[in-house]
Amino acid sequence: MNGFVYLVGAGPGDPKLLTLRGLECIQQADVILYDRLVNTELLTHRKTGAELIYCGKEPGKHGLIQDEIHRLLVEQAKLGKQVLRLKGGDPFVFGRGAEEAAILRQVDIPFEIVPGITAGIAAPAYAGIPVTHRDHAASFTIVTGHRRMNQEQDFLNWPALAQMDTVAFYMGIGNIAYIAKSLITYGKEAITPVAVIEWGTTKNQRTIIGNLSTIAQEIQTHRITNPSMILVGDVVNVRDQIAWFAEKEHELC
């Protein structure tokens, strides 16, 4: 008899931002496949004897490739186990959860999707920045920024993005100069505010503020690395009024 697979969003980093349903899944799972950005404090809630399998991916150093993750999910479920696939953020926001669900459906393994709080909303909130605001932003979009981008092989609709009030880029630190240049080229003003939030919602959170013309240099100066969220838009200015979270030692803004 097949087991069951839970595709669960672990949230953005702060373990207290896990949903109640996510916690239930951790507590009942027989085997847990977890990603690099999952706060390992969450794993302390597992039941005695639950097996842990690390599936982390980072630049130049992958844990298990995606096909192997698919194989493990199917293999463990076919052994009759309760399998938890624990992902940072939300499983359907750049988390490849849909691919994993499709594989499970193909082999008739039942599954449940448990949404999680995504970093594109949570990290700005902890930095005191709302992604929408009655006076500043009526539109909000989230974008992956980690793929190699160039003029010949681009995949983003830059004219449309330049019209959005607020744009959140995931995994874009390595491409920040290209991102900023493209937004300016297609209509964003060079002085449009930009916030970069490193390790958002965790005790190591740092925020730097700049604009499209300066942010690439600011990132280099302050040695900001992934995981970081890049937020572009006038809402960044609201931070001066409502910043609330005590950031790492010396706030960089």
- 184 vs 54: CA distance, rounded Å: 40
Kindly list the distances between the CA atom of residue 91 and the CA atoms of 62, 113, 115, 154, 211, in Å, as whole numbers in the listed order: 18, 8, 7, 25, 31
| Catalytic residue flag (residue 248) | no
Question: Per the residue annotation, which of 35, 81, 87, 164 is the catalytic one?
Answer: 35
Q: Dihedral of CA 58/250/229/117: which sign?
A: positive
- 113 vs 191: CA distance, rounded Å: 40
Asked if 88 contacts 69 with a C-beta cutoff of 8 angstroms, the reply is no
| Catalytic residue flag (residue 35) | yes
| Catalytic residue flag (residue 135) | no
Question: Per the residue annotation, which of 149, 164, 171, 229 is the catalytic one?
Answer: 171
Question: Per the residue annotation, which of 57, 78, 181, 248 is the catalytic one?
Answer: 57
Asked if 169 contacts 188 with a C-beta cutoff of 8 angstroms, the reply is no
Beta pairing, strands 166-170 & 193-198? unpaired
3-state secondary structure of 231: strand
99-114 core/surface letters (b: 16 or more CB in 10 A; e: else): ebbebbeeeebebebb
Longest dimension (CA), the chain: 60
Q: Dihedral of CA 240/242/244/245: which sign?
A: negative
**Rounded CA Rg of the chain:** 19
Residues classed as catalytic: 35, 57, 171
